[in-house]
Each structure stands twice: as structure tokens, then as C-alpha cells.
Amino acid sequence: MHKFLIVKVGGTFADYAAERGDFEDWTVRGMSLAESEWETVNPQNGANLPDPAGFAGAVITGSHDMVTDGTPWITDTAAWVRRAVDAGLPLLGICFGHQLMADALGGKADYHPDGVEIGTANITRTRASEEDPLFRDLPEVFPGHVTHSQTALKLPQGATLLATGSHDPHQSFRVGESAWGVQFHPEFDAPAIHEYISRREADLAASGRDVAAIRATVRDTPQSASLLKLFANYCRTR
């Protein structure tokens, strides 16, 4: 059985990672992977991305960077996404990964015109999601943790919109049979999103946001978290 690849395009705050692990750790825990079942590559630090054909599936993590930064590692990772999709490698892009996939495959990522989305949002499945192997058994509306300034403003041509939200109309999409993007964070738990709200509290308050109201949205998100295991199982059984 091939391993899973975690494409680490960013990490959480260094001190928080020292306490609770980093994005790749949260992701593989959610996927219920044994240590022998996965490996990670960090293109942000200059590592070369491997041949997509050698893996069961790949997850592209979130990042504190922005897709529109256009740095060489972002351009290289976007090119790898196109190769992976052409090769039929199952992909799951989370937040930055979702935006990068949309941009790389012909859509457009940029800053959301209504600003930051943060807290726990209601994610609403579309009619098309009823035929999707990851989303079809989820509730019609379910909670997902969100923290992002950029978004997939435009989806790639031919993409299937799977989920929407009141702030972000493109909460999830699929390209082809097995390349998914999710704007929300299935790997976050409630303590993690509380941490992100606290870290951004001053900026949120300065921009006129009601931080207490944002905190009040936070709740557990078992349905969105289940997508990680659903993706792993899909990759194993396809």
C-alpha cells in the first residue's frame, strides 16, 4: 500500500506547535494514520515535491502565507497540483491548499471582499454533493472552523461546487473525480480555533469586529472533522 503525502505549505504558530503539534500532525490524527502510513514534504522550505504516482493520496495543508504572494515555492506547488490531478492522485486541499488548487486549476484566489472569516461557520451542502463520495452522507448543514483572509473567488471551469456558506460561497469544490478543496479546517478542533481568535483579537477589534460574538460561534465540528477519515478511506478503497 502506498503512503499518504502531506504537503506542508505552512504551519501554525511556533509556540503553539511546540505544545500541540503542527498542521501535519493534526491532519494525520484526523485521518487516523499510523506513523508508517504517511510522509511529509515542505516546499515552503525548498523541498522538492515528489512524483505524484508514488502515493495513495495527498493533503495540502493550510498556511499563514497567501496564494497571491506568488513566491517560487507557491508557483512550483501549483504546477505540482496540476501534475497530480493529471496523474489521478486523490487530493484534499485545506484553506490555503483549497485556494491554491482553485488558482492552479484555472480559477482565481485573492482576498475576500468582505474581509476575514474566523470562528465556526455553518457549512451548507449543495445538491451536487449528494453524489459526492466524501460529502453525500454529511448533514445538509454542519459546522466547520474557519480562519482565512483569502478565498477561492472563482472556481476552475467544470468544478463541482459541493458546499457554501453565508460569508464564503465556495466552501468546498471538487475537480474531476478525486481532487477536493475545502475552505474550512477539518483538522482544527475547538481549542485551536479559539487560539486563532485570541491571536487575532486586537486586529479584529480594530477593524470593528465583535470578538465576543465570534467566540460565541465556536463549537465542536465532528461532521467536518470526519472528512479527513473519509478521504483516507476513499484513497484506500478506490
Catalytic residue positions, numbered = 95, 185, 187
3-state secondary structure of 117: strand
> CA dihedral defined by 107, 132, 37, 15, rounded to 10 degrees?
60
Cβ atoms within 10 Å, residue 91: 26
CB 102 within 8 Å of CB 170: yes
CB 128 within 8 Å of CB 175: no
Looking only at the bridges linking them, the beta strands covering 91-94 and 141-148 are unpaired
| CA distance linking residue 32 with residue 25, whole number of Å | 10
Please provide residue 175's backbone torsions phi and psi, each rounded to the nearest 5 degrees: -110, 130
CB 67 within 8 Å of CB 150: yes
Grid cell listed for 64: 499563514
Cβ atoms within 10 Å, residue 201: 14
Please provide residue 90's backbone torsions phi and psi, each rounded to the nearest 5 degrees: -60, 130
Residue with cell 445538491: 127
3-state secondary structure of 201: helix
